[in-house]
């Protein structure tokens, strides 16, 4: 095992628990997020699936919310 292997493991663990590229960049001391992505881009592939799932859920919720009856929460009720 080399120092490089340990760095890659640290980056892998950070990404697996949800760290974003800027956090990984700072943790590893890379000069830029682009450098981190160039080196460890394969670790972020699962993030694309997570983003797609979240966007899908947001779209579903948005469509459901449109079907709910409109309520005027700011208006005073007439007695």
Taking the whole predicted model, whether its pTM rises above 0.75 is answered as no
**What's the full length of the chain, in residues?**
79
In degrees to the nearest 10, what's the CA dihedral of 47, 50, 54, 55? 60
- pLDDT tens digits, 2-54: 998 998 899 988 888 888 889 999 999 999 999 988 888 777 777 777 778 88
Q: How far is CA 51 from CA 54, 56, 57, 78, in A?
A: 5, 8, 10, 44
Q: Which of 54-58, 59-63, 72-76 has the lowest mean pLDDT?
A: 72-76
54-70 burial, b for 16+ CB within 10 Å, e for fewer?
Answer: eeeeeeeeeeeeeeeee
């Amino acid at each position: 095992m080399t120092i490089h292997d340990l760095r890659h493991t640290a980056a892998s663990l950070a990404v697996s628990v949800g760290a974003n590229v800027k956090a990984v960049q700072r943790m590893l001391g890379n000069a830029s997020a682009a450098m981190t992505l160039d080196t460890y881009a394969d670790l972020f592939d699962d993030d694309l699936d997570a983003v797609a799932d979240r966007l899908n859920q947001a779209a579903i919720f948005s469509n459901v919310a449109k079907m709910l009856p409109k309520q005027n929460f700011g208006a005073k009720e007439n007695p």
